Amino acid sequence: MLYLIRHGETDWNREGRLQGRRDISLNPTGRRQAAESARRLAGVVPPAALASVAFVASPLVRARETMELLRATLGLTPEAYAVDARLAELSFGRWEGLTWPEIRAADPAGATARDRSTWTHTPPGGESYVDLADRLERWCETLAGDAVVVSHGGVTRALLVLFGSMTASEACRFNVPQNRVCVVGEGWAEWR
């Protein structure tokens, strides 16, 4: 079982900027969302069972901050979790830091190509969802049991496809919430 949690809000989320691999910290709303995610997780995983669940986060600061706030809210040692680089967000390359209107103005052909095939399109200097799914498939092979994963919207979408919970087309259109827990098993997912 995976318990997927997207990092809390950042100022770039609020502005609609693509963060990708940029290291952006949580804003006050994001910190509140991390605590809310912890309360939701506690409603899904009994406190006594938390000791047997692995906790792993993306190396990006917004995911690590979310994980540490989540663990502190649960009464766990904030820093006692693993970090795995394969859980880092999809790279948007040269588009990072831009909003979609800015991308459409600066690179209309690239934006149109991505609209036509979001799953397979590779932004300039970035990676496609296919690349991300390949990276995450290798990570999934290392799982030894249930895990709480704090990562990103793109990572969540790709994992939902890998676990058969969504098609690639559905995942590309799915807006991943920042204060919820997605419980994922083989072929199903449920948001709490």
The catalytic residue among 89, 96, 127, 152 is 89
The catalytic residue among 7, 65, 127, 152 is 7
Residue 96 among known ligand-binding residues: no
Task: Give the type of residue at 30.
Answer: G
Residue 62 among known ligand-binding residues: yes
Residue 192 among known ligand-binding residues: no
Residue 11 among known ligand-binding residues: yes
Contact 11, 99 (CB under 8 A): no
Does the annotation mark 102 as catalytic? no
95 token code pair:
């588009």
Does the annotation mark 7 as catalytic? yes
Residue 13 among known ligand-binding residues: yes
With 0-12 / 13-18 / 19 or more C-beta atoms within 10 angstroms meaning exposed / middle / buried, residue 189 is: middle
Residue 126 among known ligand-binding residues: no
d(CA 175, CA 177): 6
Closest CA to 123 of 132, 133, 113: 113
**Binding site feature residues for substrate:** 6-13, 62
Active-site residue set: 7, 89
**Binding site feature residues:** 6-13, 62
